[in-house]
Amino acid sequence: MTEREPNSDQHGARGGSDTAAPRHGEGQFVIRPAKAGELPAIRRLIGLYPDELVQDELPRVSSFFVAESDGSIIGCCALQVYSRRLAEVRSLAIHPDHRGKGVAAQLVDACRRRGIERRVRQLFAVTSEPGFFEGCGFTVHTGWKTALFSNLDPGS
């Protein structure tokens, strides 16, 4: 699942401005880059969803944005940049008490803005929640390249 061209008018169905400054959301939370030392809190959040999210080999902390509310990290999402062509939006988790408030949409938008700043041409996400990402402007890719998977673990 890839995002529409960053410069297209269609991008970011819920997107806002492209400024990188932390923003207050609809509720009481702030979206900001993660700080050094916050990886344990991010890991705890991701660990709430062992079926949905990979726990090992997380991106480095500087790749993450977090949502903070009342001094706690209640959401996280990383942008892993592979090249000028491609970056992955991954490790998206929102604490169960804070779902449905637009936190994830704002985290994905922060990743999108960082991708634009770094002149990345396309974002993708491998997800169990395609409906959510479609709402964020991602579409099933039908362009000149196709993502193919080869299963190395017959049990999975």
Ligand X SMILES: CC(C)(COP(=O)(O)OP(=O)(O)OC[C@H]1O[C@@H](n2cnc3c(N)ncnc32)[C@H](O)[C@@H]1OP(=O)(O)O)[C@@H](O)C(=O)NCCC(=O)NCCS
- Residue 119's SS3 state is coil
Pick one of 73, 94, 110, 120: the residue that binds ligand X (CB under 6 A).
94
- Burial label, 142 (beta-carbon count in 10 A; 0-12, 13-18, 19+): exposed
Closest CA to 104 of 89, 114, 117: 89
Q: Which of 15, 22, 33, 135 binds ligand X (CB under 6 A)?
A: 135
The region, left, alpha or beta by phi > 0 then psi within -120 to 50, assigned to residue 71 is left
| Position 15 contacts ligand X (CB under 6 A) | no
In whole angstroms, give the CA distance from residue 91 to residue 58: 8
Q: Report if residue 24 touches ligand X, rule: CB under 6 A.
A: no
Site for ligand X (CB under 6 A): which residue of 52, 62, 118, 140? 52
Single residue of 116, 127, 139, 141 touching ligand X by CB under 6 A: 127
Residue 99 binds to ligand X (criterion: CB under 6 A): yes
* Footprint of ligand X on 58-87 (CB under 6 A): none
Q: Which of 31, 61, 76, 103 binds ligand X (CB under 6 A)?
A: 103
Question: How many Cβ atoms are within 10 Å of 154's Cβ, its own excluded?
Answer: 5
The answer to whether 76 and 64 are in contact (CB under 8 A) is yes
What residue type is 76 in one-letter code? Answer: C
In whole angstroms, the minimum distance from the beta carbon of 148 to ligand X comes to 19
For ligand X, the nearest residue by Cβ is 131
Binding residues for ligand X (CB under 6 A): 14, 49, 52-53, 92-94, 99-105, 127-129, 131-132, 135
